[in-house]
Amino acid sequence: MTPTLLRLRNLAFVGFVAVGLSGCGYNTIPTQEEAAKAQWAQVQNEYQRRADLVPNLVATVQGYAKQEKDVLEGVTEARAKATAIHIDAGDLSDPQKMQQLLNAQNQLSGALGKLLAISENYPDLKSNQNFLALQSQLEGTENRIAVARKDYIAAVQTYNTTLRTLPGAFWASTFFRSEQPLVEFTADAGSEKAPQVKF
């Protein structure tokens, strides 16, 4: 066999292996993991957006409802706890850290619900343009959080399924042994009941 034919044969073999690897699912696990991490970043972005609204909302309510000191302090403390917990992409497979974050975010949601509910007792506050704008932004942010969490759950489901089904399970057991299933969000007990919120 001539050197030129040998090179062509080797080049063809390398090309065949490269095409085979690209089509066999080897890249699926890292691709889906990165997609889930990107969705997680969006969830964190929306949580931060909500946390950024809290000081303005508290300040606005405080001007009208000074006697609601406990509620205002509760919101401030819940915000501090929620922003103190940091989950990076490496923690997405740690159920305890994810549960800590979810608990803190749920406490913030509950505290904000109480804060918005007290507006019912203060007609001047309910008609304040700044309060109404903040309330609208907060409602929009809560919707964005729900969408971001839904997208994250879908990305995690896809990734976790790939780790457990063929051909992904083969790659996960050989080249990607350190990859662990990611933690999904779970609903809180009693969340199947619609909340009673009055504005």
Terminal CA-CA length for the chain: 85
* Spatial distance between the Cα atoms of 111 and 69, rounded to a whole number of angstroms: 13
Both tokens assigned to 159 = 């990734």
Percentage above 70 pLDDT, the chain: 87
Q: Which residues contact 9 (CB under 8 A, 6 or more apart)?
A: 1
The domain ranges of the chain are 35-174
pLDDT of residue 198: 46
Q: Give the model confidence (pLDDT) of 131-158 as tens digits.
A: 999 999 999 999 999 999 999 999 999 9
Indicate the pTM of the whole model. 0.79
Give the fold, CATH level 3, of 35-174: de novo design (two linked rop proteins) (1.20.1440)
CA-closest candidate to residue 163, choices 37, 41, 28: 28
58-113 tens-digit pLDDT: 999 988 887 888 999 999 999 999 999 989 888 999 999 999 999 999 999 999 99
